[in-house]
Amino acid sequence: MDDITRLALWMKDNENPSPYSPIMGTVISLPNLRIQVGTKAILDSKEVKTTFDIYKKVTHNSGVAEYAYLNKTVVLLPYSKDQKFIAIGVLQE
């Protein structure tokens, strides 16, 4: 393949970038971070960075502490060709 053809293919690939939209996932495990996206995809701490303290604990009146965001829905933004994600927040119930 010559350089002009390679340039034309590169320009074609960059003409319509894939949509950049948030996705939702559920925190299914802490402190070993695991977030379920859809029915099969499981993301871990290698694939997710957070803009908030996802490991935050809350203490109840009974003195029992638990993770505040366990079993909560988080908003994720994909990056690195949809191979990694940034958790930007938690949906309020």
CA dihedral angle for residue 59, residue 65, residue 69, residue 70, rounded to 10 degrees: -150
Task: Enumerate domains of the chain plus CATH numbers.
Answer: 20-90 (2.40.50)
Backbone angles phi and psi of 19, in degrees to 5: -65, 145
- pTM here? 0.76
How deeply is 84 buried, as exposed, middle or buried, from its count of CB atoms within 10 A (0-12, 13-18, 19+)? middle
For residue range 9-68, what is the model confidence (pLDDT) as tens digits? Answer: 877 777 666 667 899 999 999 999 999 998 888 999 999 999 999 999 999 888 899 999
Q: What residue type is assigned to position 11 of the chain?
A: M
